[in-house]
A and B are shown apart, each in its own frame.
Chain A
Amino acid sequence: MSAPPSARYLADLQRRNLLPPEQAASIAAAESTQPFSLHYELRALLYLGITLLAGGLGVLIYQNIDTISHGVIIAVIAALMAACFGYAARHRAPFTWGMIPKTSVGADYLLLLGCLLFVVLEGYVQYQYGLFGSRYGLATAVPALVFLPLAYWFDHRGVLAMGLTALASWVGLTVAPLAVLTENEFWNEHIRGAAIVLGVLLMAAGFYSEHQGRKAHFAFTYLLLGSNLALAALATSLVGTSLYEPLGLSYVVVMLALCAGLYWYARRTQSYWFLVLAAGYAYFATGYVLVELLLLLPSDAVFMAAFFLLPTSAVLVVLFFINIRKIMHGPADAPKPPFSSPQA
């Protein structure tokens, strides 16, 4: 019963004169002869097979590392990486600032695989020969320097995301003294500050590319990574400070300003992701302010107010979701979207 017969739909359509009988008959005939597609099942099996093979081979190589030399393994990884990059470069479309239509799905994935192999190769060389010594900053800067140009050259957002991640870890490692990582104090002041600055810069890059049409489709990645970085850092900073210090207040203001920027972008690109993201962080920030204000009340009143406030905020969030289309498209007189398949 995966594809129930369409007879009742066809009958209803004919009853309303929407479908000539010959066409209805041809549709019914086409559906009865339609072959059963195993496309996704076979793809999944192939993926599972490759994963098993790679995992098993990895373990086998690890167990027999003494008989195979490191040089051979490094050479094999490097050769694979070069092959991936070579294939991707051969199928590359000429550079434009716009979005390049995908011509070869294989090249797309091989580029990604090549980048992953680059990380593997770098990690292997570092682990085995200590190429970068203890200059870990350099070790994370190299992938960023390689991936970001590649992302623009090949017009690949997956590689862009990898490059930005490498950039973020480079910034984190450069800012924080290494001791921070060992002392379990990961979210210290320096890192938070750097994360906020980097996140804001990435968001600025996203707004710039959207506004200037320089790889406008990269804005999504820039804004998603940047806003999450900056807003998460701001949110954790907020928890640690008091609202009545100028710093705490400025955190709230910056958070709300970033949320407003995301709201602008969400409405511009009709992106529900960013609308929800903006609403979520704005909810957190205003909730924090309200709780801080509530704590000024006497303790009995705090309890009752909390019992009143929490359900109210849940109801408000539900109302937000129910009216999200209106929020996205402006007041009722704005043109309504087709609303054709809401259960996408």
Chain B
Amino acid sequence: MKIRAYNPDWAFNSALRKRAARWQRQQLANSEQLAAIEALYPLEYYRPVWPLRVGLFIFSCLGVALGGSFLLLMTGSHTPFASGLVFCVACFALLELLIKEQRCYHAGVDNALLYAGLSSASGLIYYAFSEYLWPQRGGYHLDLGATYLVVLLVLALLVAATLRYADAVVTAAAVAAALLLVALFGLNSPKGQMLLPFLLMGAAGGLLLLYRKLAQHAANLYLTDYYANCLLTLKVLSLAVLYLAGNYLVVREGSAELHHEFTSTQIPFAPVFYALTAGVPLLYIVLGLRRADRPLLLLGLLALAFSLFTLRHYRSLLPPEVAAVAAGTLLTVLAGALLRFLRPARGGLTSMPDDEPRHFNLENLIQAQTAHAPDAPATGGFEFGGGHSGGGGATGQF
């Protein structure tokens, strides 16, 4: 059996075609070339536009849930482990069948079946431990060692599923399981509780290093496109955890929650957390701009907003309406000025939209105009709605 459930060509072809369509929009390639590329790199999978995917996902969940309860009704509740096993196996069998026969590729149906199968498998692992392996340790209350083992097994399962199905949500769950392991380790001792933020930041940093290793390793591999979503999820989540674990508000309120205090009090190492709260967003933004890294930049902006919220949560500097007017004026002036200032690109940054035909090349233009095939619009025939934004919204295009 192959490791990857989907055909890696699907991911590669779709990424290549998107790239080629962009070259054509930027007049780096002409439309005949695009047509030739699209003929040689066909998309042979089923993946509808996102509203249909959402609909498919919801109805598949409904179908799976109803099917599962039907199964439970048929077998009775005497043998929950056996019926759970049957359900889990049925989910995965149906998933593999759908991928093989219908060539679903993250189309909603396969996502739902994958999540159902994985959650039932995780439930079965937990159930097996609490019920069969160590029943004398008292029903549903596992001790710490057993919990480690359960989380570790679930983590292994999730990593295996990520390798096979390359699903972003499963990747996120795997990251969460890994962080949970670290958090359990820290919560175990009073010293660990005090150092929990640093432990989590260390874990997030480790995950980031893992991401860098994987990204460098995969930079020119055929399979990069297959795992592109997983890599992005890993990166975004570890960056977010790295910031949140050092955020003053999160640490202070979390510590109060941990010690069952009614109101939060000042925490140890407070200056460190002040510095992290202020510094990490700025670091993200600067690095995002310098490396042309959009996820990092957006995370930095979000983190900056949360840092400002943290500041206002403990120190109210101005009355809210005055603060809103001041911040609004500042933002409006700043953004407006930057929009104008970066109109021609400066220092590798620009305020022009991404897909404008910037590389204006007279030769290519003439080629495109004289070619008898009109420049086909890059978006295909599978457009949603009448092709316009409808309803009460704006009709202009940004």
Instruction: Spell out A's residues near B (CB within 8 Å).
Output: 1-9, 12-13, 16, 18-19, 23, 26-27, 30, 34-43, 45-46, 48-57, 59-60, 63, 102, 105, 108-109, 112, 156-158, 161-162, 165, 217, 220-221, 224-225, 269-273, 276, 307, 310-311, 314-315, 317-318, 321-322, 324-325, 337-344
What 4 A-B pairs are tightest by C-beta distance, nearest first? A49-B331, A53-B328, A337-B381, A56-B324
B-side contacts of A46, CB under 8 Å: 331-332, 335-336, 339
Interface bits B219-233 vs A (CB < 8 Å: 1, else 0): 111101000100110
Task: Count residues of chain B with CB under 8 A from any CB of chain A.
Answer: 108
Tell whether, in the assembled complex, residue B63 and residue A108 are in contact, meaning their CB atoms are under 8 Å apart: no
Tell whether, in the assembled complex, residue A55 and residue B324 are in contact, meaning their CB atoms are under 8 Å apart: yes
- Offer 7 A-B interface pairs, CB within 8 angstroms, sorted by A: A9-B20, A13-B20, A39-B353, A49-B333, A63-B321, A273-B390, A322-B102
A51: nearest chain-B partner, CB-CB = B328
Q: Do A315 and B63 contact each other (CB < 8 Å), given the known contacts A36-B292, A342-B43? A: yes
Residue in B63, B352, B376 whose beta carbon sits within 8 Å of that of A318 in the complex: B63
B358: nearest chain-A partner, CB-CB = A34
Nearest chain A CB to B162's CB is how many angstroms away? Answer: 18
Residue in B28, B47, B386 whose beta carbon sits within 8 Å of that of A342 in the complex: B47
A-side contacts of B332, CB under 8 Å: 46, 49-50, 53
Residue in A1, A38, A49, A217 whose beta carbon sits within 8 Å of that of B231 in the complex: A1
B222: nearest chain-A partner, CB-CB = A8
Question: For A56, A108, A315, which residue has the most chain B Cβ atoms within 10 angstroms?
Answer: A56
Tell whether, in the assembled complex, residue B37 and residue A342 are in contact, meaning their CB atoms are under 8 Å apart: no
B-side contacts of A36, CB under 8 Å: 289, 292, 294, 348-350
B353: nearest chain-A partner, CB-CB = A39
Tell whether, in the assembled complex, residue A2 and residue B294 are in contact, meaning their CB atoms are under 8 Å apart: yes
Q: Do A57 and B325 contact each other (CB < 8 Å), given the known contacts A2-B295, A49-B330? A: yes
Q: Which residues of B (333-376) have their CB < 8 Å from a CB of A?
A: 333-336, 338-339, 342, 345, 348-354, 358-359, 376
Residue in B18, B70, B220, B338 whose beta carbon sits within 8 Å of that of A307 in the complex: B70
B-side contacts of A13, CB under 8 Å: 16, 20, 37
A-side contacts of B382, CB under 8 Å: 325, 337, 339-342, 344
Interface bits B233-262 vs A (CB < 8 Å: 1, else 0): 001000000000000000000000000000
Nearest chain B CB to A157's CB is how many angstroms away? Answer: 5
Tell whether, in the assembled complex, residue B335 and residue A42 are in contact, meaning their CB atoms are under 8 Å apart: yes
Tell whether, in the assembled complex, residue A42 and residue B351 are in contact, meaning their CB atoms are under 8 Å apart: yes
Tell whether, in the assembled complex, residue A52 and residue B353 are in contact, meaning their CB atoms are under 8 Å apart: no
Give the tally of cross-chain contacts (CB within 8 A).
272
What separation, in Å, do the CA atoms of A5 and B219 have in the docked complex? 8
B388 within 8 A of partner (CB): yes
B212: nearest chain-A partner, CB-CB = A1
Q: Do A56 and B335 contact each other (CB < 8 Å), given the known contacts A4-B224, A271-B386? A: no
What separation, in Å, do the CA atoms of A49 and B29 have in the docked complex? 39
B81 within 8 A of partner (CB): no
Tell whether, in the assembled complex, residue B48 and residue A112 are in contact, meaning their CB atoms are under 8 Å apart: no
Tell whether, in the assembled complex, residue B396 and residue A39 are in contact, meaning their CB atoms are under 8 Å apart: no
Tell whether, in the assembled complex, residue A340 and residue B38 are in contact, meaning their CB atoms are under 8 Å apart: yes
Q: Do A165 and B338 contact each other (CB < 8 Å), given the known contacts A49-B330, A318-B60? A: no
Tell whether, in the assembled complex, residue A49 and residue B384 are in contact, meaning their CB atoms are under 8 Å apart: no
Q: Do A318 and B109 contact each other (CB < 8 Å), given the known contacts A158-B395, A324-B48? A: yes
Interface bits B12-26 vs A (CB < 8 Å: 1, else 0): 101111111101001
Tell whether, in the assembled complex, residue A342 and residue B327 are in contact, meaning their CB atoms are under 8 Å apart: no
B3 within 8 A of partner (CB): no
Tell whether, in the assembled complex, residue B394 and residue A108 are in contact, meaning their CB atoms are under 8 Å apart: yes
Interface segment, one of B50-58, B128-136, B190-198, B199-207: B50-58
Nearest chain B CB to A326's CB is how many angstroms away? Answer: 12
B298 within 8 A of partner (CB): yes
Q: Do A7 and B38 contact each other (CB < 8 Å), given the known contacts A158-B395, A276-B55? A: no
Tell whether, in the assembled complex, residue B388 and residue A42 are in contact, meaning their CB atoms are under 8 Å apart: no
B324: nearest chain-A partner, CB-CB = A56
What separation, in Å, do the CA atoms of A272 and B390 have in the docked complex? 13
Tell whether, in the assembled complex, residue A53 and residue B37 are in contact, meaning their CB atoms are under 8 Å apart: no
What separation, in Å, do the CA atoms of A22 and B178 have in the docked complex? 47
Tell whether, in the assembled complex, residue B350 and residue A37 are in contact, meaning their CB atoms are under 8 Å apart: yes
Tell whether, in the assembled complex, residue B380 and residue A337 are in contact, meaning their CB atoms are under 8 Å apart: yes
What separation, in Å, do the CA atoms of A3 and B219 have in the docked complex? 12
Tell whether, in the assembled complex, residue B385 and residue A272 are in contact, meaning their CB atoms are under 8 Å apart: yes
**Known contacts A1-B232, A59-B321, A341-B17, then 6 further A-B pairs from the complex at CB < 8 Å, ordered by chain A residue:** A30-B28, A37-B354, A50-B328, A53-B332, A56-B323, A276-B55
